Amino acid sequence: MKFDLHIHSCLSPCASLEMAPSEIVARAAAAGMSGIALTDHNSSRNCPAIAECARRAGIGCLYGLEVCTAEEVHVLTLFDTTEQAAAMTDWVYAAMIKRVNDPEAFGDQPVVTWDNDIVELEWRILGSAARKTVQETGAKCRELGGLFVAAHVDRPAFSVFSQLGGIPPDAGFDAIEISRTGGEDEWRAKTEGFAATRSSDAHNLDDVALVWTEIPDAPFTVASLRAAFAARATAVSPPLRFGAAR
């Protein structure tokens, strides 16, 4: 089964406002994904909406957030339930600066319903870093029962390699993520011992499920993914060719 584990909704300040949960689910289902994960920057507040969309569409869904740590490393935290993701969000919110977002400068951050009504605009600056280290974030994620994935390890910014020079041995990552253009062989070699995933990191509808990760058929749950990661039983789609990334 194929899944795209890194997708941003309209709640992320840098994502397109067209990224309504209903549209994301429709695109992922049309692309043949068995499951997706919603991973907005530092917040899971659109997860209840996408949960309902996924349920209606009959597609699997995990609920998470892409935390920006104190070292400005992006990490994915993925959970089975919206309640676990909400608990992670509360912990991250408590560690963020309390400045009010300026939509003109950083972008809008709408919290929406499954049928595309805007509930409110998130006031925190979701693109800012939380005052928690990679290790602290991983420990909290595990305490809540989640999966902890090093995001886009091949990118020259906001990755464990760009910020820390490599993978801290005590971070407790369950897997690493190679971005849509990263070379699999090169990054598997640099991240030996970790299962590899590849996900779209979509900020626009056209990017949803452009690339994906595959595991043997199993229920789309944290436990199944954890087992596949532990067995290194993941396969990833080929990278997008240079120039094809949007």
The contacts of residue 89 (CB under 8 Å, 6+ apart) are: 42, 43, 44, 45, 65
CB 199 within 8 A of CB 4: yes
Pick one of 4, 66, 122, 207: the residue that binds Zn ion (CB under 5 A): 66
Nearer to Zn ion, 62 or 151 (CB): 151
Pick one of 4, 177, 201, 207: the residue that binds Zn ion (CB under 5 A): 201
Q: Is 74 in the site for Zn ion (CB under 5 A)?
A: yes
Q: Residue 71 carries which DSSP code?
A: T
Contact stretch for Zn ion (CB under 5 A) within 55-63, 143-151, 180-188, 191-199: 143-151
Nearer to Zn ion, 75 or 215 (CB): 75
The contacts of residue 27 (CB under 8 Å, 6+ apart) are: 205, 208, 209
CA distance 238 to 213: 10
Nearer to Zn ion, 201 or 207 (CB): 201
The least distance separating Zn ion from the CB of residue 231, rounded to whole angstroms, comes to: 26
Q: Is 177 in the site for Zn ion (CB under 5 A)?
A: no
The least distance separating Zn ion from the CB of residue 157, rounded to whole angstroms, comes to: 9
Nearer to Zn ion, 6 or 140 (CB): 6
The least distance separating Zn ion from the CB of residue 31, rounded to whole angstroms, comes to: 18
The least distance separating Zn ion from the CB of residue 216, rounded to whole angstroms, comes to: 26
The least distance separating Zn ion from the CB of residue 6, rounded to whole angstroms, comes to: 6
H/E stretch holding 74:
strand 74-79
Nearer to Zn ion, 174 or 201 (CB): 201
DSSP state letters, 181-196: TS-HHHHHHHTTTSEE
Nearer to Zn ion, 106 or 218 (CB): 106
CA distance 230 to 219: 16
The contacts of residue 45 (CB under 8 Å, 6+ apart) are: 11, 89, 111, 122
Look up residue 54 and give its two tokens. Answer: 């996924």
Which residues of the shown chain bind Zn ion in the complex (CB under 5 A)? 66, 74, 151, 201
